[in-house]
Structure 1
Amino acid sequence: MSMESDVIVDRRRLRRKLTFWRVASALIVIGAVVAVGAYATPWGGKLTGASAIQRVNIDGLIRSDQKRVEALERLGKSNAPAVIVHINSPGGTTAGSEELYDALTRLKAKKPMVVVVEGLGASGGYIAALASDHIVAQQTALVGSIGVLFQYPNITDLLKTVGVKVEEVKSSPLKAAPNGYEPTSPEARAAIDALVKDSYAWFRGLVQNRRGMDDAQLEKVADGRVFTGRQAVDLKLVDQLGDEKAAIAWLVAEKKVAPDLPVRDFKLSPRLTDLTFIRTAASVAFDALGLSSIARQVEQTGIVGAADRLNLNGMLALWQPAPSN
């Protein structure tokens, strides 16, 4: 072997070692911050002051979460004088969105409550906002996306390429359909279409009832698109433009809440892997592996949220813009 070949081999070995130690270091950092977070993070929906307005933050993908429901129930039983719910979410599963809507509706029955849509209150995020009798949105927030979808991967062509065939025995043609291993039959597509239409009718009815729209008004907003906060006011999707200060002013004027009360964050028992400092560490780890797109997703939605994005299927109330490169 020539000296030049030896140098090339040595360089390759060195690169492999550097990659290994980068990944190992990133994993060690993640493990350390998880341990610190588990020790330092308060869990269980903790009140930071009974004489303060409680701020509830609903961020990222919405999915079923019993701990969040229980935390909101504890908030309803507390001495908190009022609640401001901040929503910044593209939605998620229809079941999770309905669960959150029901929990917020029960909370509203016990406490004066107002919703503030910050950057995004779309689809399932808007379902959650409908629990409030008053919705405030920032002018450039995105609101709406009234609709549902059922999505699933179909890897039929891929299986043909690699020479894999999936065999199955099932009790009836529509059992486990669609399965992604074969083309979707017309019968299966019709069954899914019926599911989508039924859930869409529920969503439309909820919007019409909660926002007091007639049929003509509903048709203008229920085609799946999103609207800016400015547009949403005119379309009756939201009540007022503004931020938290506008929400407080409404509570003072309409619900007789004392004007000098502070606002404190109410913790909804976040999943440990969704905490901000862990998101950052995980993002660094994925960057070290050269997976920058996943790193950006982790930074935005957390580890669980990024995993959900990669495996979202079934019935969704979700606004999904085209992914950026």
Structure 2
Amino acid sequence: MSTRADELIDRRRLRRKLTFWRIVAFAVIVLAIAVATRQIMGDAAGRSSDHIAQVRIDGTIFEDEELLERLERIRQTDSVKGVILTIDSPGGTTAGGEAIYEEVRLLAEAKPVTAQVGTLAASAGYMIASATDHIVARQSSIVGSIGVLFQYPDVSGLMDKLGVKLEEIKSSPLKAEPSPFKPTSDEARQMIRSMILDSYDWFVGLVTDRRPLSREEVLKVADGSVFTGRQALDIKLVDALGGEREAKAWLVSKGLDEKLEIVEWKKRETASSMFIPEIASRFLGVPANGADILRELGAERIFLDGLLSVWQPETNRLSD
């Protein structure tokens, strides 16, 4: 009889626990929907009235389809009267920078666009800034690093130590060159160098077209060097010193109403992507966004491929 009573008590406890967790799960879902609704409604309300759009471009630059689509939506939105690109990037892939550069140029043909540099706008980051019609940088910002880079590992020495030998049959000597599994031939080096110089010439041409500098003046500063905002102003790589206030002031000088609010156009996110990672990040003490986790670890730079326009201060990372 006692055993039967214990079983009933255990069942009641289990039911109470299940009821509790069902209520918690329901509350989490309701809260997530509320947060998402508020986010969507707030964005819609802010974007429906006339405003200045702000877009943040930070971290390592890749070919970012979502960012390109966002810039296109801004260009097609009548309530956006001007744009501030807030840039804080060491650069990234040259193709990624080129794609964003071209989209910013289309945007600048429709609305006044200015760049506001934070800590860093180097290499592809500076390429994107130069696509705007006005660049504002902090006095201590890092600007420049105009150039192109191609890097690849050479593990042939390690293979020799391990007793591993690579066998290959190729249609021509330069197929799949350079290879990390053997020393680079002179012909392969010349091929890569030719490609690098061609892309470098293109990059210099972009800066020449966009800045009040002759090609000869651009070449003098396009040796991979970086400059402070103060130095960059002297050599005309930026137009003014300051921050968001100065960037907005330039837009006002182009005819925008000084009372217009600055509204950040963020990446579109679903309720689950906004709320669930937020909870997990608080418990684990890590960034809520998976890409941010990679950025914290510095791992995103490992996966860069192709020609690079990137600058980092540490010698153990990619550098111009």
Shift of 1:301: 2.4
* 1:322 aligned onto 2:317: no
Q: Distance in 1 between matches of 2:280 and 2:153?
A: 27
Provide the TM-score with structure 1 as the length reference: 0.76
Q: Retained in 1: the 8 A contact 2:123–2:310?
A: yes
Q: Are 1:187 and 2:179 counterparts?
A: no
Alpha-carbon shift at residue 282 of structure 1 (Å): 11
Query: Where has structure 1 moved over 3 Å in runs of 4 or more?
Result: 39-43, 268-273, 275-286, 297-300
> What SS does structure 1 have at the residue aligned with 2:157?
helix
- 1:26 alignment counterpart: none
Residue 162 (structure 1) aligned with residue 156 (structure 2): no
The DSSP-based 3-state class of the residue aligned with 1:249 is: helix
Once the two structures are superposed, the pairs formed by residues 10-89 of structure 1 within 5 Å of their partners are 40=36, 48-50=46-48, 51-79=50-78, 80-89=80-89
- Compare 156-165 and 189-198 and name the one that shifted more: 156-165
Aligned partner letter, 2:307: M
Give the superposed CA RMSD: 3.2
Q: Deviations over 1:68-103 (max 9, x none)?
A: 111111111102111110000011000000000001
Distance 1:85 1:58 in 2: 7
Q: Deviations over 1:245-297 (max 9, x none)?
A: 001111111x1100011111101347969x995996798579xxxxxxxxxx9
Structure 1 stretches lacking a partner, 5+ long: 1-31, 287-296
C-alpha distance 191-282 of structure 1, shift in aligned 2 (>3 A): farther
DSSP-derived class of the 2:175 partner: coil
CA contact (8 A) 1:82 1:113 kept: yes
Distance 1:84 1:120 in 2: 16
Partner of 2:102: 102
Q: For structure 2, which runs of at least 5 residues remain unmatched after alignment? A: 1-27
Alignment correspondent of 1:261: 260
Q: Report the Cα offset of residue 212 of structure 1.
A: 2.5
* Residue of structure 1 in register with 2:14 after alignment: none
The change in CA–CA distance for 1:243 and 1:276 in structure 2 (over 3 A counts) is farther
Identity in percent: 45
Whether contact under 8 Å (2:230, 2:241) holds in the other structure is yes
- Largest Rg, 1 or 2: 2
Kindly indicate whether structure 1 or structure 2 has the higher relative contact order, using CA contacts under 8 Å at least 6 residues apart.
1
> What SS class does the counterpart of residue 84 from structure 1 fall into?
strand
C-alpha spacing 1:145/1:169, structure 2 compared with 1 (3 Å): same
Partners of 1:216 and 1:314 lie apart in 2 by 28
2:314 aligns to what SS in structure 1? coil
Residues 72, 107 of structure 1: 8 Å contact kept: yes
Contact 1:279/1:302 (8 A) holds in 2: no
Does structure 2 conserve the Cα–Cα contact (< 8 Å) formed by 1:93 and 1:315? Answer: yes
Mark the CA change 1:281 to 1:222 in structure 2 (over 3 Å): closer, same or farther.
Answer: farther
Structure 1 distance, partners of 2:182, 2:219, is: 36
Distance 1:300 1:263, change over 3 A: farther
Distance 1:182 1:102 in 2: 38
User: CA distance change for structure 1 residues 307 and 73 in 2, over 3 Å: closer, same or farther?
Assistant: same
TM-score, normalization: structure 2? 0.77
By how many angstroms is 1:151 displaced?
0.5
- Counterpart residue type for residue 133 of structure 1: D
Distance 1:233 1:136 in 2: 9
Q: Does 1:301 align with 2:301?
A: no
Tell whether the 8 Å contact from 1:280 to 1:299 is kept in structure 2 after alignment: no
- Correspondence for 1:232: 232
| Code of the aligned partner of 1:261 | L
Aligned to 1:293: none
Q: Distance in 2 between matches of 1:120 and 1:280?
A: 27
> 1 CA distance for matches of 2:114 and 2:178?
41
Q: For residue 136 of structure 2, give the secondary structure of its aligned residue in structure 1.
A: strand
Alpha-carbon distance in 1 for matches of 2:63, 2:241: 30
Instruction: State the Cα distance separating 1:169 from its structure 2 match.
Output: 1.5
